[in-house]
Structure 1
Amino acid sequence: MAKYGMSMCVLGMHEEFRPYNIGAIHTAATEMLAGSEVAKYSRKPDIMADAAYAILIQDPKTCTGNFFIDEDILNQAGITDLKHYASVPENADKLMPDFLVDDDVPSSPPGVPL
């Protein structure tokens, strides 16, 4: 039941986060859906751990009730070179988009705060 609930949340949030051009994270699930080649064009899950850390060290009185995007939170923390998160560093500029995000979505929509 919990997995179903999580799946429904993902389906709902994909529309909300569509404008942010979110890339895929290499997991067993993405490999199951797209094959082993998906790793070559995805980021390592480490980016999620580092983003979580950047969130957790913030003051909980001023940082609560938010949805975060890993790349944005790391950029705000001063980490702007994200190439080391690529599963294959040579492909850091060729990351595939998330499965639930259209390819033709602009990466920085006007008027949308981060």
Structure 2
Amino acid sequence: MESGVFFVLAFVIGLVVLMIASMWKIFEKAGKPGWAAIIPIYNTIILLEIAKKPWWWFLLMLIPYLGVIWSIWTWNMVVKNFGRTEGFTVGVILLSFIFIPILAFGDDKYIGTEAPSNPNILDANV
């Protein structure tokens, strides 16, 4: 019985380390300090910056039940700022231990600060 407890504990610790390393890498890809991934609350503020959302969304995330909406919306914007679609967001929400490392260690580049590829997209006369 004790070996089963050890296996579960080792698995949970490994999963936590994987998620912290993934967040660290995502932060670095977005030009933010990687060490912010290990600081509670501050890491959510940095994630909101990557998503291009205001810091006070963190307060909205604290609302029971409704906060889930803002959390999902934040991850959707993070995923989009790395050039992925809403389908990938669904993966991040349902299987985060698989999709967040894919986002972190894959070839995805942070495009949140780049200008649109079509320069006329901002022109109101088009």
Query: Quick check: TM above 0.5?
Result: no
Task: Tell me which protein shows more helix as a share of its residues.
Answer: 2
TM-score of the aligned structures, taking structure 1 as reference length: 0.26
TM-score of the aligned structures, taking structure 2 as reference length: 0.24
Higher RCO, 1 vs 2 (CA within 8 Å, ≥6 residues apart): 1
